């Protein structure tokens, strides 16, 4: 494994979480992802992004087919939580990819508590240990979670 701090994990994030409106108080999602070993794959803002979502589905399929744990983090109050799920889910299924577990950040919640809830979700998810060994090699650290 390389010196990359991300540990075989990637999160799909809506544009609304990376570029939230100024009036919205949110936990520092990028910091929480980084501290839990996650890289980021940004989804486009609302709108018709058929080709971009197809490319995103290809990327998620590549990650999934090479042993990466993939999650989707949405933002409550944004259409479809900002995840384009109605269009992205069928694209993932056609590529033989299980839909990633989803977590929705609640902007009306207390920021610190919401950050802790997100961190707990991220810590609680990884591939099963046998899949970790298969893809990441016998020498990788398997958390057993």
| Average pLDDT score over the chain | 87
pLDDT confidence of residue 10: 95
Tell me how far apart the alpha carbons of residues 42 and 51 are, in angstroms, rounded to a whole number.
15
pLDDT tens-digit map of 64-113: 988 899 999 999 988 888 999 999 999 999 999 999 999 999 998 999 99
pLDDT tens-digit map of 106-132: 998 999 999 999 999 999 988 877 887
Mean pLDDT of 46-58: 93
Q: Which of 121, 123, 124, 119 is nearest to 29 (CA)?
A: 119
pLDDT confidence of residue 134: 81
What ranges do the domains of the chain cover?
Answer: 17-132
pTM for the model stands at 0.85
pLDDT confidence of residue 145: 46
Q: Which of 120, 56, 111 is nearest to 82 (CA)?
A: 56
Query: 3-state SS of the chain?
Result: CCCCCCCCEEEEECHHHHCCCCCCCCCCHHHHHHHCCEEEEECCCCCCCHHHHHHHHHHHHHHHHCCCEEEEEEECCCHHHHCCHHHHHHHHHHCCCCCCCEEEECCCCCHHHHHHHHHHHHHCCCCCHHHHHHHHCCCCCCCCC
Percent of the chain with pLDDT over 90: 65
Mean pLDDT of 16-23: 85
Residue that wins the pLDDT comparison between 139 and 112: 112
């Amino acid at each position: 494994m390389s010196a990359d701090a991300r540990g075989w994990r990637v999160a799909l994030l809506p544009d609304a979480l990376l570029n939230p409106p100024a009036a919205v108080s949110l936990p520092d999602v990028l910091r929480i992802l980084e501290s839990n070993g996650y890289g980021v794959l940004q989804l486009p803002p609302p709108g018709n992004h058929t080709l971009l979502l197809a490319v995103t589905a290809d990327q998620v399929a590549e990650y999934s087919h090479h042993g990466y744990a993939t999650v989707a983090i949405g933002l409550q109050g944004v259409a479809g939580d900002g995840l384009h799920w109605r269009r992205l889910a069928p694209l993932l299924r056609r590529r033989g990819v299980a839909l990633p577990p989803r977590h929705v950040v609640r902007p009306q919640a207390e920021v610190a508590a919401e950050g802790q809830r997100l961190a707990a979700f991220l810590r609680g998810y990884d591939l099963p240990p046998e899949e970790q060994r298969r893809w990441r090699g016998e020498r990788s650290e398997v958390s057993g979670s």
